[in-house]
Amino acid sequence: MKYLTLLIFICCFACQSTESKETKTTPTLLPEEEMLSGDQLSNPQHAFLTPIFIVDSLALMPDQEESPKAFYEVASFEAAYDDEKLNAVINTALARAIVGEEAPMRVTDLRRTIQAFVKTRIKAYGQQEVDLTMLQDMPSAYEQDHRFTTAVSHQDDRILTLSTNHYYFTGGAHGNYYTVLQNFDLKEGKEVHFNDLFLPGSKDQLTKALSQLSEFQSEDIYPTKNVGLTDEGFVFNFPPYEIGSYADGEIEILLPYDDAKDYLSDNARSLLGI
């Protein structure tokens, strides 16, 4: 699977690099059949999730061999359960994780939504005003690299947890990244958020528990709402810089369910079968 995905990426990027030297006024968007190349991937090991793979790029100055480029790659899943309501809930949540605030209120076709998002961003990149002096002195200021990767973190008969990582570089010393965790109640057909899991007023208890579990024990670790469900417990995900340095990367703290039982909501207890 890993090598097949890499091969598709190389082929798409090679085709795009050739086309990107045509004209600046005509963005070099890949043909629709290539933008929707997820159909060429093998089915994932998770039932009812159809893979999506979209990749596109554009040279800012097509007539220059070493032109800065915008690059977008999305490797995700689209829900394909028998329950259309559940599909819309999962696909809307994934659109929010990938597209952000531009995502529609309800998404029934995630593939098309992501495709439109990539096309819009690529076109905007090609139409921006360029400071030629800055371009010559610091071309990296015009580089854009965005990669979104969704994985299944946890799945059982009742719960599905997805993690979507966004790596981005928009100039500077290095790129950055973060991961969005999203949980779904497959039985009730709804997304499960932080406030659905923990009792109101449990912040102090969670802070104490996370601080004791963290290697950064000299500091109070306040709970993030970016929390996922696993077989063992709740995983709290903190992006680089939030509680550590960039070199520390993303930091995950696992809070066992048994340790959190005193401040779980009734909804969480039902969901977890506690």
Q: What is the pLDDT of residues 99-126, one digit of tens each?
A: 998 899 999 999 999 999 999 999 999 9
Q: In sequence order, what DSSP letters do the residues of 35-58 get, joined into one string?
A: HTGGGGSPPPSSTTEEEEEEEEEE
Instruction: Indicate the average pLDDT of the chain.
Output: 84
The rounded distance, in Å, linking the Cα atoms of 254 and 228 is 9
Q: What is the pLDDT of residues 38-95, one digit of tens each?
A: 443 444 456 799 999 999 999 999 988 889 999 999 999 999 999 999 999 999 999 9
Decide yes or no: CATH 3.90.640.20 for domain 193-272.
yes
Nearest to residue 160, comparing CAs of 87, 257, 105, 111? 87
The rounded distance, in Å, linking the Cα atoms of 45 and 49 is 9
- Give the H/E segment covering residue 251: strand 251-256
pLDDT, position 252: 94
The structure's pTM equals 0.81
Contact yes or no for 243/216 (Cβ under 8 A)? yes
Q: What is the pLDDT of residues 17-53, one digit of tens each?
A: 333 333 333 333 444 444 444 443 444 456 799 999 9
pLDDT, position 95: 98
* DSSP, res 135: H
- Give the H/E segment covering residue 98: helix 84-99
Q: Are strands 144-155 and 69-79 parallel, antiparallel or unpaired?
A: parallel
Q: What is the pLDDT of residues 222-262, one digit of tens each?
A: 999 999 999 999 999 999 877 877 777 889 999 999 999 99
pLDDT, position 218: 62
Taking 3-state DSSP, the helix, strand and coil percentages for the chain, each rounded to the nearest 5, stand at 40, 25, 35
Q: What is the pLDDT of residues 146-192, one digit of tens each?
A: 999 999 999 999 999 999 999 999 887 788 999 999 999 999 999 99
Q: Could you give the residue range(s) of every CATH 3.90.640.20 domain in the chain?
A: 193-272
Q: Give the CA angle between residues 265, 189, 186 to the nearest 5°.
A: 80
Angle, helix 110-127 to helix 84-99, in steps of 10 degrees: 20
Nearest to residue 159, comparing CAs of 104, 97, 109, 233? 233
Phi and psi dihedrals of 77, rounded to 5?
-130, 155
Nearest to residue 26, comparing CAs of 59, 67, 56? 59
Nearest to residue 248, comparing CAs of 224, 209, 216? 216
How far the first Cα of the chain sits from its last, in Å, is 37
The rounded distance, in Å, linking the Cα atoms of 96 and 93 is 5
Could you tell me the CATH superfamily of domain 2-191?
Fervidobacterium nodosum Rt17-B1 like (3.30.565.40)
* DSSP, res 80: -
Q: Could you give the residue range(s) of every CATH 3.30.565.40 domain in the chain?
A: 2-191
